[in-house]
A and B are shown apart, each in its own frame.
Chain A
Amino acid sequence: MQAVAVGENKQSWDRARAFATSLVVATGALIGNPATAQESRTRTDVQWIQAVRQAAQRVNYHGTVVYQAGGEMRSSRITHMFDGTDSHERIQTLDGKPREYIRRRSSASDQVQCLIPETRRIVIEHRNVDESFPGLSSASPEEILERYTLKLGDIERVAGIECQMLTLEPKDNARYGYRLWVDRASGLLLRAQTLNERREVIEQIAFTDVRIGERIDRAKLRPSWSTEGWSVERNDYRKADLSQHGWLVPAPAGFRKTREVARRIGGSDAMQAVFSDGLATVSVFIEPHSLLSASGAGSQTPSGDALQIHGPTSAFSRRVGDSLVTVVGEVPPSTVRAVASSVEFRGAR
């Protein structure tokens, strides 16, 4: 009886695997032959954004990436594989402390394990896609184009591959601009720059070498270290309604609220509201009464009215009564400041 059940399972597994393989082969064929792929010349603005997004999830690639921001530079190796349903990714840092990020993303969830070898820890970041506001975790291309103007630039080579350069110019000063270099054949983003209002590059990520559309051995997606006996930490959070706690957190102009959660931050209770414009994200953290009790994050907490800028990331803290409000985002400093000052406490209902 049991043997039959196992046989059936195996059969369905084989079918699933055959299906996955055919999907991968189909994807590969699509990439391998640019003529059958969407002709890059005829892509509309919306289709360019869709192509970039889809490629990031569905294209197999393996290569070295260099990241630069605020005078710092880091390189890492990235391996990405799409198995027909889920995407698997492994990022290994090559500079500084060794870190690995093992990501698995399906239609329902997105989990990243951050491996920290020196303290033998795994920090699990888990995002339940269903839990987010409907369809907001990734804004539609049309929404992005409401905030940014897309312009086609020159054909330029990145990591030996001919790319279409695209610029996304912000329509106001609340957000940064972007330059993207997209592989014309696969739609994979090979280089991206974040630009400030003076059009200076404040952040850059680029492949220096990459192989696209090849079969990826699953062994290449496994961590470098045996993680047996490592401690596992989970960043837990749950849905929350900030207005029920008396907090009014208006969305910055051109951003939409995508999350409201309750969680722990640096040892104290906090609420977090997340806003996105499809490209940039702003988080608002509220730690109620954290400035009253010494049991809060204490010296670990920013003291209030402090602006920090690093590369594209701006952070601003402000006291509201006995609570601390901290705004973090990949937006200009003026935006985090404005968001922080718009937060109001109206008293618990």
Chain B
Amino acid sequence: MKTGVGDRMEQTVSNQVSATLTMERISILLDGEMDRAEAMATIAALCADPALRRHWHELHRVGDALRSHEMAASDSEAFCARVAAVISAEPPVLAPSAVRTSSGTRRYWMPGLAVAASAAAVALVAVPLMRAPETVSIAKNATPAQLSTVDVGAQQSLPTIANARGLNPSFNPYLAAHRELIGNSVVPRAAVYLRSAEDR
């Protein structure tokens, strides 16, 4: 079974990714650019996760303009309970209806929020990349309902071609000698060192 890079990206799901997605979706929600099902899913996620609710609070602190009555309502227990009731009454739609990318043309209606939200996204996007092996194993167990699509290429899993522990150690002296005489290439020199970081 061969899947392309794009497929693999879609299958990649982890808690970190979900958190990032939801934060991003919160921004989209605030922009009013979300359809009903998606908005429901986002609010449900928000209500279910204390960390996200804290994030929600922080976003509110960003500017006075955000302290409107409707926005603050989402944090109330009663509101969350109502959302839970509605959600349980209809099938959850956790996958966004359309793929949204961070580089999209989304228009933030508040610059301060845009900065805060994108800073949070950058910090969190780095995490899944650094936990790729976990990400892969989670992706295997993920059910289609849990899958989300997001074009953050850095978190795609890499195919294990062969010998995940590295080349046979008997090749190490050759690798070191090869590495030494690699010329200046477009591919960063650092990659050359990281390829064989533990060969000595």
- A residues in contact with B145, CB < 8 Å: none
- Known A-B contacts A136-B183, A279-B185; the reply to A192 vs B191 at CB < 8 A is yes
Q: Decide if B195 is an interface residue (CB 8 Å cutoff).
A: yes
Inter-chain contact B133/A73, CB cutoff 8 Å? yes
- Known A-B contacts A73-B133, A283-B181; the reply to A302 vs B186 at CB < 8 A is no
Inter-chain contact A178/B167, CB cutoff 8 Å? no
Question: In the complex, A200 Cα to B182 Cα: how many Å?
Answer: 24
Residue among A132, A272, A280, A310 having the largest count of chain B Cβ atoms under 10 Å: A310
| Nearest CB in chain B: distance from A155 CB, A | 7
Q: Decide if B109 is an interface residue (CB 8 Å cutoff).
A: no
Inter-chain contact A311/B161, CB cutoff 8 Å? yes
- Which residues of B from 154 to 171 have beta carbons under 8 Å from A? 154, 156, 158-168, 170-171
Question: In the complex, A200 Cα to B191 Cα: how many Å?
Answer: 18
- A residues in contact with B165, CB < 8 Å: 72
**Residue among A76, A114, A201, A208 making CB contact with B126, cutoff 8 Å:** A208
In the complex, per-residue mask of B179-196: 1 if CB is within 8 Å of any chain A CB, else 0: 111111111111101110
Question: In the complex, A265 Cα to B160 Cα: how many Å?
Answer: 29
| Nearest CB in chain B: distance from A280 CB, A | 8
Chain A count of residues within 8 A CB distance of the other chain: 100
Q: Decide if B70 is an interface residue (CB 8 Å cutoff).
A: no
Inter-chain contact A138/B184, CB cutoff 8 Å? yes
**Residue among A75, A114, A178, A283 making CB contact with B130, cutoff 8 Å:** A75
Inter-chain contact A125/B180, CB cutoff 8 Å? yes
Question: In the complex, A315 Cα to B170 Cα: how many Å?
Answer: 11
- B residues in contact with A45, CB < 8 Å: none
- Known A-B contacts A76-B194, A313-B167, A326-B174; the reply to A137 vs B184 at CB < 8 A is yes
- Known A-B contacts A157-B102, A258-B183, A276-B183; the reply to A205 vs B5 at CB < 8 A is no
**Residue among A132, A180, A270, A302 making CB contact with B183, cutoff 8 Å:** A132
- Which residues of A from 308 to 347 have beta carbons under 8 Å from B? 308-313, 315, 326, 328-329
Inter-chain contact A328/B171, CB cutoff 8 Å? yes
By beta carbon, the residue of chain B nearest A52 is B186
- A residues in contact with B180, CB < 8 Å: 125, 127, 235
| Nearest CB in chain B: distance from A174 CB, A | 16
| Nearest CB in chain A: distance from B38 CB, A | 23
**Residue among A69, A114, A159, A315 making CB contact with B174, cutoff 8 Å:** A315
By beta carbon, the residue of chain B nearest A136 is B183
**Residue among B133, B161, B184, B194 making CB contact with A65, cutoff 8 Å:** B194
Q: Decide if B177 is an interface residue (CB 8 Å cutoff).
A: yes
Partner-contacting stretch, out of A25-33, A94-102, A211-219, A245-253:
A94-102
- Which residues of B from 113 to 162 have beta carbons under 8 Å from A? 118, 122, 126, 129-130, 132-133, 136, 153-154, 156, 158-162
Residue among B130, B163, B195 having the largest count of chain A Cβ atoms under 10 Å: B195
Q: Decide if B52 is an interface residue (CB 8 Å cutoff).
A: no
- Which residues of A from 273 to 302 have beta carbons under 8 Å from B? 274, 276, 278-281, 283, 285, 297, 299-302
- Known A-B contacts A125-B180, A313-B175; the reply to A203 vs B162 at CB < 8 A is no
Inter-chain contact A91/B190, CB cutoff 8 Å? yes
By beta carbon, the residue of chain B nearest A309 is B162
Question: In the complex, A311 Cα to B177 Cα: how many Å?
Answer: 18
Residue among A78, A201, A279 having the largest count of chain B Cβ atoms under 10 Å: A201
**Residue among A56, A144, A265 making CB contact with B188, cutoff 8 Å:** A56
- B residues in contact with A89, CB < 8 Å: 189-190
Residue among B129, B133, B156, B185 having the largest count of chain A Cβ atoms under 10 Å: B185
Q: Which 10 A-B pairs have the closest CB atoms?
A: A71-B160, A266-B173, A67-B194, A208-B126, A283-B178, A137-B183, A71-B164, A138-B184, A125-B180, A309-B162
Q: A70-B166, A279-B186 are in contact. List 16 more A-B contacts (CB 8 A).
A: A56-B184, A64-B126, A67-B194, A69-B195, A72-B166, A74-B194, A97-B197, A101-B193, A156-B103, A205-B191, A259-B181, A266-B174, A272-B178, A276-B183, A280-B185, A328-B178
Task: Please give the residue numbers on chain A whose beta carbons come within 8 Å of chain B beta carbons, in ascending order.
Answer: 49, 52-53, 56, 64-76, 78, 89, 91, 93, 95-97, 99, 101, 103, 112, 114, 116, 121, 123, 125, 127, 132, 136-139, 144, 154-160, 168, 178, 180, 189, 191-192, 194, 196, 198-206, 208-209, 235, 237, 258-259, 261, 263, 265-266, 270, 272, 274, 276, 278-281, 283, 285, 297, 299-302, 306, 308-313, 315, 326, 328-329
- Chosen A-B contacts, 23 in total, with CB atoms closer than 8 Å, are A49-B186, A66-B126, A67-B194, A70-B158, A70-B162, A71-B160, A72-B164, A93-B194, A99-B198, A125-B179, A125-B180, A189-B188, A196-B161, A200-B159, A202-B159, A209-B126, A261-B181, A265-B173, A274-B181, A278-B186, A281-B178, A281-B185, A309-B161
